[in-house]
Amino acid sequence: MEINAVIGINKPKGFTSFDVVAKLRKVLKTKKIGHAGTLDPMATGVLPILVGKATKLCDLICDNYKEYIADFKLGVLTDTLDITGKMLLTSEVRVTELDIENALQKYLGELYQTVPMYSAVKINGQKLYNLARKGQEVERPKKLVKISKLELKNYDTQTKEGRIIVGCSRGTYVRSLIDDLGKDLGCYATMINLCRIKSCGIDIAETVTLGELEETVNEGKLKDILIHMDYFLKEYRKYNLNLHEKEKFLHGVILPIADSKFKDQELLRVYYSGQFLGLAKVDMGNQKLKIVKLLIS
């Protein structure tokens, strides 16, 4: 069975995103697999896996909104800003739930984050985490991110541990957010758990574990969990072809388009009789429709 679809995996702790891809290559018996939206090994949750022709969608399906559940501990600072790192400092904590709720309001909206040393961002060709492991610290870029949702779910004054829900743009460092929160509260803070519950339009309730995926494959029910490619392309308008146009489209022929309702350079989802064929771009100047990605299953 040829697979050209997306699978929502609930990534387990301790696995890199590449580990998941490597395992699925064996389970699905195909080499053409990728993922959208990397998760650190300590993180769990939604990891969209792209299989077959769906790998062509990597630059398109990753929307600009992710949602996480993050657990934190006040009074602790580590070199990685999370519990996997080396403890550097501790501090007294005299913080109430209301203090945290008030402090969180500052981060709603757009803000700049400094890329942490323990990250895969490259400076002069070297990944920052490699420099950090050598004890080197360099000047890092700042990234503009957007926090659109930030809620405190609970906080225990005895353990100094709490949980927040974060809705943010792609590229946001939740551990940096927690570190900054600690500073604003007059103490240190580190992230102790992270679970991504929404990514690329996939909710964690729609995902399967690696074990569940294997079971589904063994039972011959893989189709039940596949997500069709056009599900992720809803923002693009539809364009229907007749049979003659379909045959030309599948051979890469540029088609005439006279419909003035479309905008120049607009991307369209192309269909024939309800079957998704791929993406095309409108060239209104020349009244042409040019194929961008052929995605027919």
- Is the pLDDT at 80 greater than 80? The verdict is yes
* pLDDT band of 88, cuts 50, 70, 90: very high
Domain that holds residue 246: 236-294
How high is the pLDDT of residue 64?
78
Q: DSSP letters along 248-267, please? A: HHHTT--EE---TTSPTT-E
Residue type, 4: N
Under 8 Å between Cβ of 137 and 31: no
Question: pLDDT at residue 258 above 90?
Answer: no
Statement to judge: residues 219 and 265 lie in one domain? no
At 239, give phi and psi (nearest 5°). Answer: -140, 125
Say which residue, 58 or 91, is predicted with more confidence. Answer: 91
Domain termination residue (choose one: 231, 253, 278): 231
Do 240 and 225 lie in a common domain? Answer: no
Number of domains in the chain: 3
| Domain's final residue, options 150, 180, 198 | 198
pTM above 0.85, yes or no: yes
Say if CB 10 and CB 45 are below 8 A apart. Answer: yes
Catalytic residue among 19, 40, 59, 79: 40
149 and 191 belong to one structural domain: yes
CB 82 within 8 A of CB 110: no
Summarised one tens digit per residue, pLDDT across range 276-288 is: 999 999 998 889 9
Cα dihedral 206, 210, 215, 218 sign: positive
Assign residue 92 the CATH number of its domain.
3.30.2350.10
Identify the CA nearest to 229 among candidates 24, 28, 56. 56
> pLDDT grade, residue 223 (50/70/90)?
very high
Q: Which class for 134: exposed (0-12), middle (13-18), buried (19 or more C-beta within 10 A)?
A: exposed
pLDDT above 90 for 38: no
What pLDDT was estimated at residue 133? 83
The verdict on whether 180 is a catalytic residue reads no
Q: Are residues 219 and 283 in the same domain?
A: no
Give exposure, 210-243, as e/b (b: 16+ Cβ within 10 Å).
beebbebbeeeebeebbbebbebbeebeebebee
* Alpha-carbon torsion (55, 57, 59, 62), positive or negative: negative
**Of all residues in the chain, what percent are helix, strand and coil, respectively (each to 5)?**
25, 35, 35
